[in-house]
Structures are given as C-alpha cells and as structure tokens.
Amino acid sequence: MNAPDKLAPTAEPRLTSLSHGGGCGCKIAPGVLSEILKGTAAMPIPKELMVGIETADDAAVYKLNDEQALIATTDFFMPIVDDPLDFGRIAATNAISDVYAMGGRPILALALVGMPINVLSTATIGRILEGGASVCRAAGIPIAGGHTIDSVEAIYGLVALGLVHPDHVKRNADAQPGDVLVLGKPIGVGVMSAALKKGELGEAGYAQMIATTTKLNTPGPDLAALPGVHALTDVTGFGLAGHALEMARGAKCEVQLEWASVPQLPGVRQLASQGFVTGASGRNWAGYGHDVVLPAGFASEDQALLTDPQTSGGLLVACAPQAVDAVRATFARHGFEAAAVVGRCVAAPQARLMVG
C-alpha cells in the first residue's frame, strides 16, 4: 500500500501521476547526455575554474582566493512520492548533496519551481516549498530567491551554493590505484519508487525510503579534510555502477565492486525480482553496460539494483587503505551506520567496472 497523503485535496491527482519519471530517474541517459555535451568542451575555461564539466562531476568549483572556492550546482526533478511535503524534502536534500560531495559546506539556495497551477492547489504547492525550506533550515542555509513557472509536470529543486577550501576540493576523478571504496547509504531507492508508483510499497518501506532520501550527506566536508581521502562523489541518477565508472574513467583505473558488501534498503531485492524496476535502470545499462563486467550467473534483479537510479543517494569515497577506519568513523559520527567498504581501485589498462 502507499503511505496516505492527507495533505492534498482529494480532487487533486497523485503527484507521481503527473510525472513521466520521478526523482533522479528523470535524468537523461548517460550516452545521450554525452552526445549533447560533446561540443561544449571547446568553450574557453578560466584558470580559476577548478572543476567544470570535463569529468561529469557533481558541481562546478570556482577559486575565489587562496582560502575559498565557490561550489555551484543545481538539481531538480518531478515527484518521486505523492506527499507534497516529502517531495520537497527529498528534492532539496538531493540538490544540497552535490555541495557536500565536493567537500564543501552549503551557504545558500535558490528555489526552482515549475507547477501545473490549474491542476494542483496553492496549498499543495506551498507544502512542496515548505518541505524544501525545512531541509534548508536543517542544513543551516536560507532560500534566498528563485524562479517559478507554470509547467505541465510538477518540478521542484534548488540551485545550491557552497564554500570549500581549495585544498579540500574532492573531485570524482582523483581516485588512485590501491584506493578502497566506501559507500555511505544503502541503494534501492529507484526500485522502491517504482513499487510506490504502482501502489505496492508498504508503510514500512515508504518510511525507509523517506528516511534515506531526506538524510543530508553532512559527512562530506569532514571526509574531504581527512588525509588519504582522494575522491568523493554522490550516487544518484546513474546508479552505483554509473558513478563508480565515472571514478574509474577519471582515474584511468579499474573499479572492483564487491557486490555482496553493497548495502541495500530492506526488501528491495525482492521488489526488483517482482519487476518493480525503473525505466532509467535499463537506460543506464544501455549507456554504460559495455564497460561493466558481471560474474557468471549474476541475477537480473541484481543488475537492476546495480544500475538503479538513486535519488539523494549516498557518498562514495575513494581513500587509501590506512584511511578506511577514519572514513567509517566519520560516517558513523554523522549517523551513517550503514556505511560499508564496497570495493577498490586497481591499476588496469582499461577503465571499467568489475563486479565480483
């Protein structure tokens, strides 16, 4: 069953019914995105731009001075849940995550709002914005402005800005052979969202989904300051496989993933085996599956989870072996008890993901 939405008028449609795809599952497929962006690499790049589009990183970083660099990112999507407050909370948490993933601390946000104003009540739209504002308050930042449009589909998200010391910027491309990979959150959000949209996610599953998608990735700055932490990213729309591959390509190494060690949200493997899989999972595999090596007999539900689009997913850390204990302790200090070692980077002639 679905968690009941007691906030929206009964005459209004379910929020997820207005979405052709929800959450980070709305992302354009990796191969299509590469084709779209291929001509932009020739643009002039100022020397102050520390991180741009060259490695598909989580945010842009612009050096202001010797002590400060500005992090700029934006993220928005269509509803992944029906409760308007929860939708706003999830979207805001997801957007702010990119600042944490660069090793920075957020300083302010701008709201991006597109709503079908003849379909949804102002009360429902207000609850979406209230959800986003509550997350920004928890992160200690204001929503300082934004932009609104009348849209066919409901869309909400943030522009998020942050600051980081230039020496602590963590790109997704700086992993090194020998590094260990630590994942901060369990996977399976896309599978849960597929079950929810079809009315087959129970109350306990919904509570788990909301708990993980509204948990701010606050360990980011502390992780970035640790000696031995080389690379950092958050796992979102391209799934664990896609974001691990981005690390492998940036570092020109092979990522070996220990599938049995990857934490999963309760019940998601069974849901995936029952066919509750997003279309984005298949698009992800079509976009990068040629660079993934699976073991013999790897189950279809496991492949679906490997490519499952995560909305507001966990931080993925590449660190030296001697830093693993400090990384896990940092996660635990911020309340991320599920953080686990999930693989390693090894020197190889080809950048790929090897699943074992």
Catalytic residues: 24
Question: What CA–CA distance (Å, rounded) separates 37 from 27?
Answer: 14
The owner of tokens 């989870």 is: 305
How far is it, in rounded angstroms, from Cα 15 to Cα 29?
23
**Composition of the chain by helix, strand, coil, percent to 5:** 40, 20, 40
Phi-psi region of 265 (alpha: psi -120 to 50; beta: other; left: phi over 0): beta
Please give the Cα distance from 96 to 98 (Å, whole number).
5
Residue 44: how many other CB atoms lie within 10 Å: 5
Distance of CA 303 to the CA centre of its chain: 18
Q: Which of 142, 161, 167 is nearest to 68 (CA)?
A: 167
**Alpha-carbon span 11 to 4, nearest angstrom:** 14
Q: What are phi and psi of 300, to 5 degrees?
A: -65, -35
63-82: buried (b, 16+ CB within 10 Å) or exposed (e) per residue? beeeeebbbbbbbbbbbbbb
Distant-in-sequence, close-in-space partners of 67: CB < 8 Å, separation ≥ 6: 165, 166
Question: Which neighbouring-strand residues pair with 143?
Answer: 109
Q: Where are the alpha helices (DSSP H) in the chain?
A: 30-37, 84-101, 122-139, 189-197, 203-213, 220-224, 239-251, 268-273, 279-288, 300-306, 324-333
251 three-class SS? helix
